[in-house]
Amino acid sequence: MNELHLASAAELSRLLARGEVSSEDLARACLDRIERHRALNAFLDVRPEATLAQARAADRRRAAGDQGRLLGVPMAHKDIFVTRDWASTAASRMLEGYRSPFDATVVERLDQAGMVCLGKLNCDEFAMGSSNENSAFGPVLNPWDTRAVPGGSSGGSAAAVAARLTPVATATDTGGSIREPAAFTGVTGAKPTYGRPSRWGMIAFASSLDTAGVMTRTAEDAAHVLSGMLGFDPRDSTSVDRPPEDCARDLERSVRGLRIGVPKEFFGDGLSPDVEQAVRQALAVYEGLGAELVDISLPNVRLGIPVYYVVAPAEASSNLSRYDGVRYGHRATDYGDLVDMIKRSRAEGLGAEPKRRILVGTYVLSHGYYDAYYIKAQKVRRLIADEFQRGFASCDIIAGPVTTSVAFDIGENASDPVSMYLADLYTVPGSLAGIPSMSVPCGFGKAQRPVGLQLIANYFEEATMLRAAHQFQLATDWHRRVPDGFA
Q: Write out pLDDT tens, residues 238-290.
A: 999 999 999 999 999 999 999 999 999 999 888 999 999 999 999 999 999 99
pTM score > 0.85 for this model? yes
Whether 153 is covered by a domain: the verdict is yes
Q: What is the pLDDT of residues 19-51, one digit of tens each?
A: 999 999 999 999 999 999 999 999 999 999 999
Whether 74 is covered by a domain: the verdict is yes
Q: What is the pLDDT of residues 305-341, one digit of tens each?
A: 999 999 999 999 999 999 999 988 999 999 999 999 9
Whether 380 is covered by a domain: the verdict is no
Q: Judge whether 297 counts as a catalytic residue.
A: no
Whether 352 is covered by a domain: the verdict is no
If you average pLDDT over residues 195-205, what whole number do you get? 98
Whether 403 is covered by a domain: the verdict is no
Question: What's the confidence (pLDDT) of residue 266?
Answer: 96
Domain range for 88 is 4-256+466-480
If you average pLDDT over residues 411-423, what whole number do you get? 81
DSSP letter assigned to residue 264: G
* Total domains in the fold of the chain: 1
β-sheet with 168-173: strand ranges across = 43-45, 116-121, 74-78, 168-173, 211-216, 188-191, 437-444, 450-457, 397-401, 259-263, 292-296
Question: What's the confidence (pLDDT) of residue 296?
Answer: 98
- From the candidates 23, 92, 100, 153, which is the catalytic residue? 153
CATH code for position 112 = 3.90.1300.10
Compute the half-sphere exposure of residue 403: CA atoms within 13 Å on the CB side of its CA: 35
Q: Are 113 and 226 in contact (CB under 8 A)?
A: no
Q: What is the pLDDT of residues 150-162, one digit of tens each?
A: 999 999 999 999 9
Cis-peptide into 207, omega within 30 deg: no
Query: Between 368 and 341, whose confidence is greater?
Result: 341
Question: What's the confidence (pLDDT) of residue 419?
Answer: 76
Q: Judge whether 177 counts as a catalytic residue.
A: yes
- From the candidates 13, 22, 23, 78, which is the catalytic residue? 78
Average predicted confidence (pLDDT) for the chain:
96
Whether 172 is covered by a domain: the verdict is yes
Whether 24 is covered by a domain: the verdict is yes
Whether 445 is covered by a domain: the verdict is no
Q: Judge whether 157 counts as a catalytic residue.
A: no
Q: What are phi and psi of 325, to 5 degrees?
A: 80, 5
| Confidence bin at 3 (pLDDT 50/70/90) | confident
Q: What is the pLDDT of residues 65-78, one digit of tens each?
A: 999 999 999 999 99
- From the candidates 8, 88, 131, 177, which is the catalytic residue? 177
